[in-house]
């Protein structure tokens, strides 16, 4: 699924403006592809920051809590990485199959 289709799909569902649409409106010279690429870069930077903070910097919070927060972020990333997996579960078919159907060879 091409992320550039998100604004179109959201307009068809009569949702509010997407982040991609807002980016294009704020940066008048930006195309949808440029907006998507910008968001992908931001996501990449955010994951690097998150991983670095989690792995290298101790925190007074319990590890069980920080793991849950990180796992929630991971789950959200998987849900929306290739499209809106929350409202279109067929986008997650390969992930679900890898978890419950396809075995890991030992």
Question: To the nearest whole percent, how much of the chain has pLDDT over 90?
Answer: 5
Neighbours of 35 (CB within 10 A): 24
Distance, in Å, from the CA atom of 85 to the CA atom of 79, rounded to the nearest integer, reads: 5
Long-range contacts of 67-75 (CB under 8 A, 24+ apart): none
**Short-list 73, 68, 5, 78, CA closest to 36:** 5
Q: What is the pLDDT of residues 55-105, one digit of tens each?
A: 888 888 898 998 898 899 888 888 888 777 788 888 888 888 888 887 777
Q: What is the pTM of this model?
A: 0.64
Distance, in Å, from the CA atom of 80 to the CA atom of 84, rounded to the nearest integer, reads: 5
Distance, in Å, from the CA atom of 20 to the CA atom of 70, rounded to the nearest integer, reads: 25
Distance, in Å, from the CA atom of 3 to the CA atom of 32, rounded to the nearest integer, reads: 9
């Amino acid at each position: 699924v091409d992320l550039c289709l998100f604004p179109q799909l959201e307009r068809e569902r009569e949702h509010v403006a997407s982040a991609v649409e807002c980016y294009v409106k704020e940066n008048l010279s930006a195309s949808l592809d440029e907006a998507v690429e910008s968001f992908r870069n931001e996501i990449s930077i955010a994951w690097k920051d998150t991983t670095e903070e989690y792995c290298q910097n101790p925190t007074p919070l319990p590890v069980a809590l920080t793991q849950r927060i990180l796992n929630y972020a991971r789950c959200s990333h998987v849900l929306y990485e290739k499209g809106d997996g929350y409202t279109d579960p067929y986008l997650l078919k390969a992930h679900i199959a890898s978890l419950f159907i396809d075995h890991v060879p030992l």
